[in-house]
Amino acid sequence: MTLHGLYIPLITPFGADGAVALDALERLAHQVLDDGATGLVALGTTGEPGSLTEPEKQSVIETVARVSRERSAPLIVGAATAEALAALAAVPEAVAALTVVPPFVRPGEAGVLAHFARLAEASPVPIVVYDIPYRTGQYLTAGALRGLAAIGNVAGVKYAGGGINEDTVAMMADPRFAVLGGDDTFISPLLALGAHGGILSSAHLATAQFAELIRLWQAGDATRARALGHRLAPLSKALFAEPNPTVVKSALHAQGRIPTPGVRLPLLNAHPDNTATALKHLAELG
């Protein structure tokens, strides 16, 4: 299986009573697919899974899986433990699990490889490794990423290394697994290097333009792709002016697409000035 294209790591909308707004989540999932997204991600970090109860998580998965089934769209589900991965055997729509590099403990590259080898062996679906060192505290070199690619049942990596460096370039030369960009501001140069697509929170907004960016780079139309990438980068920067997904949710609420801009602690709602800046950049895209 080769993952490619644009995946939207869906936010979890909340109603005025603070409960998960499943109807709004379902509408949002349909909207982004209508606008050109390839697939959906449920319970990624953008979905605030750490603040959801187990019943809420199950409801989110069921809702997004239903949309994926109706639209024949691939679904990736955030799952970081052996138990969460095992539960995906009951989600036939799930084509992969998004599994973060173990945060905080900094086990070293050998520990990371052993960890994913064990998870992948028992997982009922392929694993997409979520490499985001500025959150996990564990940097992975190109050699470690190639080691992950060699593990059976590891389908690819969501790469959010914080920019482009020599390890990024070396990793992109390995054809064995998919690279999906996860640093929204840097998605255009990563696609230029050969990334297969992206898992992009910013693409809740301007979904069609992000999908077009991926299509243009993959078609080899560097001139148009470069220009579009330059136009999209300020939007991504604005949407990440505060901890994700606070500004994304505030912008979606301003558009009338979700009932409230609310997030759950420890996140705080976005400042109105940052929301206004994001909406300004969105309007400039046309």
Our answer to whether residue 158 is catalytic in this structure is yes
From 158, 159, 237, 280, the catalytic residue: 158
Which of the residues 130, 134, 159, 280 is marked catalytic?
130
Q: Nearest 5°: phi and psi at 154?
A: -100, 115
> CA neighbours within 13 Å on the CB side: how many for 230?
5
Q: SS3 breakdown of the chain: % helix, strand, coil, rounded to 5? A: 50, 15, 35
Task: Report whether 158 contacts 130 (CB < 8 A).
Answer: yes
Cβ atoms of 54 and 60 within 8 Å: the answer is: no
Q: Give 72's contacts (C-beta < 8 A, 6+ positions apart).
A: none
The CA-CA-CA angle for residues 186, 191, 192, to 5°, reads 100
Residue with tokens 């979905």: 47
Determine the Cα–Cα distance for residues 8 and 152; give it in Å rounded to an integer.
25
Q: How would you label 147-178 residue by residue, b for 16+ Cβ within 10 Å and e otherwise?
A: bbbebebbbbbbbbbeeeeebbeebbeeeebb
Residues with a known catalytic role: 130, 158
